[in-house]
């Protein structure tokens, strides 16, 4: 099927040109130029015929020769063209090549495997778990022991003793509410989402509401607060001198119905933990003891992936990353 009916007369002109070129090439076959014409003319003609008459080849060729960042398609249910185009939703940062004829399965495979579409940067927002990692006051110590050694046991193994609030972790509502909802029962979609980072550094004691946050924070986001306090992780005063959120700020993120708030400090508040309870009552998770948030300050868009263990517990240690 032709990509365009206007290509029909062009095909006859192409055939006439090919016959003429073959005649010239045959007449000059003893010369290098003549032999080149005899070889290249059929190849060029085959390419043009496929380009104008074979839709998948046409789409694939245009995806290389005429790159575009848009993806539209005019394809009917039976595979024929239709004047009513449809569009296919694409993920952010996907670079599709091709223009209006990008409809073939081959084209879609080619486009989604485009090298530029796969270029992402990962930023680790988690502290490394290691032996002696400082626990929250009153919690058990973290121990990581090399329990089996290859030279002695012919294999390696490690044994970890850790509570669920050590290092980078996620607090679930069961932590401070009388609920029997373990973290493993919360839908996985809650732990992945569009991220936004807010710079609240500067040594302030309270993180208060600002009108500008009304625009910065969107529904269903994962909100990260960069205080700069994370640089003191493992140092004296880390668990006692950190800033706290005001209730007005907490009510803002409740109103925005965010999925999770992430902090580069050990807690959003102190005893009696009213901020914790306010967020938990509205099903907002809390990720604590993050790091490297400064690397996101000037990033316009990123995704947060904050996966806890699949564990029957109130909270969980977690590996949290940002994907840019």
The DSSP line for 241-302 is: S--EE-HHHHHHHHHTT-SEEEESSS-SS-TT-HHHHHHHHTT-EEEES---GGGGTT-S-E
pLDDT the model gives residue 245: 98
Q: What percent of the chain has pLDDT over 90?
A: 62
CB 289 within 8 A of CB 167: yes
Structure tokens at 242: 């950190």
Shared-domain flag, residues 159 and 294: yes
Average pLDDT of the residues in 229-251: 97
Shared-domain flag, residues 76 and 218: no
Please report whether residue 38 resides in a domain: yes
What distance lies between CA 87 and its chain's CA centroid? 22
Provide the H-helix boundaries in the chain. 7-27, 32-53, 55-65, 105-112, 150-153, 213-216, 247-255, 274-281
Please report whether residue 162 resides in a domain: yes
Determine the Cα angle at 207 with ends 206 and 213, to 5°.
Answer: 155
Q: Inform me whether the pLDDT recorded for 115 exceeds 60.
A: no
pLDDT the model gives residue 102: 40
pLDDT the model gives residue 124: 98
Number of domains in the chain: 2
Residues 154, 148: Cα–Cα separation, whole Å: 8
CB 190 within 8 A of CB 258: no
User: For the stretch 155-191, what's the b/e string if a residue is b when 16 or more beta carbons lie within 10 angstroms of its beta carbon?
Assistant: eeeeeeebbbbbbbbbbbbbbbeeeeebbeebeeebb
CB 193 within 8 A of CB 219: no
Shared-domain flag, residues 162 and 272: yes
| Range of lowest pLDDT (13-27, 28-42, 82-96, 177-191) | 82-96
Give the chain's mean pLDDT.
Answer: 82
Q: Which residues contact 225 (CB under 8 A, 6 or more apart)?
A: 197, 198, 200, 207, 261, 262, 263, 264, 293
What distance lies between CA 204 and its chain's CA centroid? 32
Q: Inform me whether the pLDDT recorded for 106 exceeds 50.
A: no
In the listed set 83, 118, 153, which residue is the last one of a domain according to the structure?
118
**What number of residues does the chain have?**
324
Q: Inform me whether the pLDDT recorded for 296 exceeds 50.
A: yes
pLDDT the model gives residue 37: 78
pLDDT the model gives residue 25: 77
Q: Inform me whether the pLDDT recorded for 112 exceeds 50.
A: no
Shared-domain flag, residues 277 and 161: yes
Shared-domain flag, residues 198 and 101: no
CB 62 within 8 A of CB 98: yes
Shared-domain flag, residues 280 and 152: yes
CB 213 within 8 A of CB 258: no
Shared-domain flag, residues 111 and 164: no
Domain that holds residue 213: 143-323
Please report whether residue 126 resides in a domain: no
Residues 36, 16: Cα–Cα separation, whole Å: 19
User: With bands split at pLDDT 50, 70 and 90, how would you rate the model's confidence at 55?
Assistant: low
Shared-domain flag, residues 57 and 199: no
| Range of lowest pLDDT (119-123, 177-181, 254-258) | 119-123
Shared-domain flag, residues 157 and 303: yes
User: With bands split at pLDDT 50, 70 and 90, how would you rate the model's confidence at 57?
Assistant: low
The CATH number of whichever domain residue 188 belongs to comes to 3.50.30.50
pLDDT the model gives residue 292: 98
Q: Inform me whether the pLDDT recorded for 322 exceeds 90.
A: yes
Please report whether residue 252 resides in a domain: yes
pLDDT the model gives residue 18: 75
Shared-domain flag, residues 89 and 149: no
């Amino acid at each position: 099927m032709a990509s365009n009916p206007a290509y029909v007369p062009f095909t006859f002109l192409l055939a006439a040109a090919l016959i003429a070129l073959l005649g010239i090439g045959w007449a000059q076959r003893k010369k290098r130029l003549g032999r080149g014409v005899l070889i290249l003319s059929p190849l060029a003609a085959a390419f043009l015929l496929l380009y104008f008459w074979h839709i998948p080849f046409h789409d694939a060729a245009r995806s290389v020769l005429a790159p575009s960042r848009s993806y539209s398609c005019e394809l009917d249910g039976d595979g024929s063209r239709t004047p009513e185009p449809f569009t296919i939703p694409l993920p952010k940062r996907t670079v599709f090549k091709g223009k209006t004829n990008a409809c073939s399965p081959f084209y879609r495979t080619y486009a989604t495997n485009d090298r530029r579409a796969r270029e992402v940067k990962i930023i680790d927002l988690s502290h490394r778990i290691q032996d002696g990692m400082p626990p929250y006051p009153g919690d058990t110590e973290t121990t990581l022991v090399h329990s089996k050694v290859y030279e002695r046991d012919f294999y390696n193994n490690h044994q970890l003793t850790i509570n669920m609030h050590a290092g980078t972790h996620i607090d679930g509502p069961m932590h401070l509410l009388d609920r029997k909802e373990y973290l493993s029962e919360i839908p996985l979609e809650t732990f992945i989402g569009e991220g936004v980072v807010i710079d609240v550094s500067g040594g302030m004691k309270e993180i208060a509401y600002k009108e500008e946050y009304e625009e910065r924070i969107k529904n269903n986001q994962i909100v990260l607060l960069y205080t700069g306090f994370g640089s003191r992780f493992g140092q004296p005063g880390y668990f006692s001198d950190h800033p706290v959120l005001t209730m007005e700020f907490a009510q803002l993120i409740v109103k925005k119905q965010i999925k999770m708030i992430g902090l580069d400090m050990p807690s959003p508040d102190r005893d009696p933990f009213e901020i914790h309870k306010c967020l938990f009552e509205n099903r907002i998770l809390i990720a604590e003891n993050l790091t490297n948030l400064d690397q996101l300050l000037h990033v316009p868009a990123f995704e947060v992936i904050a996966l806890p263990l699949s564990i029957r517990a109130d909270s969980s240690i977690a590996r949290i990353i940002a994907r840019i």
